[in-house]
Structure 1
Amino acid sequence: MKALAEGDFPSWNPGKLIHYGRSELKQSDHRPVIAIIDAEIREIDQQRRRTVFEQVIRDLGPPDSTIVVHVMESSVDDEGPTIYDESVMSALIAELSKMGEVTLVRYVEDTMWVTYRDGEAALNAAAKRSTQVCGLELVFELKSSDWQHLVDSEIELCTTNTIPLCANPTEQAQLLQVSPEVPQRPKQPPTRPPARPPMPMSPRNSPRHIPHVGVISIVPKPAKPPMPPSP
């Protein structure tokens, strides 16, 4: 890309960095930066640029890619078919599919909304204006008649709204002189409160009482003498 640009424009240069700094805002962990670059540019023809935008918009068509189909009152017959009949819808979709791929069909009150895959097909269908299906005169119109104005409004939201920082090099030099970079104080580590002292240890449990184990001697009692026999 650079080689192509240098070949097409011999005087092309990538620019020279004049100033680079940042703003010390504390609302976020990111700091916004600012830079002043001296570079040669070619002036853009705003009118021609606008003409190209308008041509592209006209070719793409409405972003919603939708047309509205309704029946002309002169062709309404109380005993004839209506727009809600399945035969009318099938014949109509077959006719509209000649302009592009239909992705969605839905009824809204007494009208039928037909959505195409792209806006160009919707433009082609709206340009047809009307057709006759099953004895009904059906009229086509875009759902968003002012779609170009809506697209223009969206483009305006995305276009750049910046202005030159300096009108001439003299003001640029003055800006650099009156706005020197101020050295920042180093960040101090945050002070932490003293650690909480540990909880005192509970005293040891007293030893359990263990009964004394000894030797018990058992002395047998003497036997009684036998009783004398009776006379």
Structure 2
Amino acid sequence: MSIVTSRLRSRLDAAAIDPSVHALRPDYRALLVAAEGLRPGPSDAAGERLLAAAEEGARRRFAGTPPEEHPHLAAWREAFRAFGAKPQRTRPSAEALLRRVAVGLPRVDRLTDVYNAVSVAHAVPIGGEDLDHYIGAPRLVRAAGDEPFETMAGGKAVVEHCPPGEVVWRDDAGVTCRRWNWRQCTRTRLTETTTRALFVLDALGPMSDAELGAAGDALVEALTQTSPGAVVASRLLTA
């Protein structure tokens, strides 16, 4: 095993899901994909092809059907309600993307475009974190209420605190993603300079392990195709 692969593997091995989250949703699983040697930059032709294909596929698959009626996305709405969130106001990330297909998905940057395309194609929430700004191990927990969450409001950097009980991803420095997969913090978000990243694919009962694995395979394929030479490792986190 190379030094790079060992480094990625050690980061994945340290990841954990708090028992309180599994008590809330025993069917929850997270597929973690860590990568180094990624090629960052602004949106480009490769990402455009992936996003355009995802948009076309979603238009056919959801023709006449609201995204929230998809079994996996409906389960995510139930999960949000279980910890007090209102999914009609703060939507699970995959649903939010699918609702934008009619007018076109956002073009953000090379790496974000890749994982957004996979998220839409497989109806699975996916988040991406810059490992160079990540401190310690990824943990999915229920917030105590004092964890800092760095974000933007009115064009200015602000620090928020989540209400106790909210399901959040966090590292040693604070919350990295609020409401399971709703919004990522500014500190660890992917940018046009990111070369090392952690991707989180969130699954509930209606999505089988095989379907989750297929989404992970599609992400790895897209990453290695758009970043030749990238090194990737993955881990499935379950109860």
Q: TM-score, structure 2 length as denominator?
A: 0.21
The structure where strand makes up a greater share of residues is 2
Rg (Cα) greater in structure:
1
Q: Which has the higher helix share?
A: 2
Higher relative contact order (CA 8 A, sep 6+): 2
Q: TM-score, normalised by structure 1?
A: 0.22
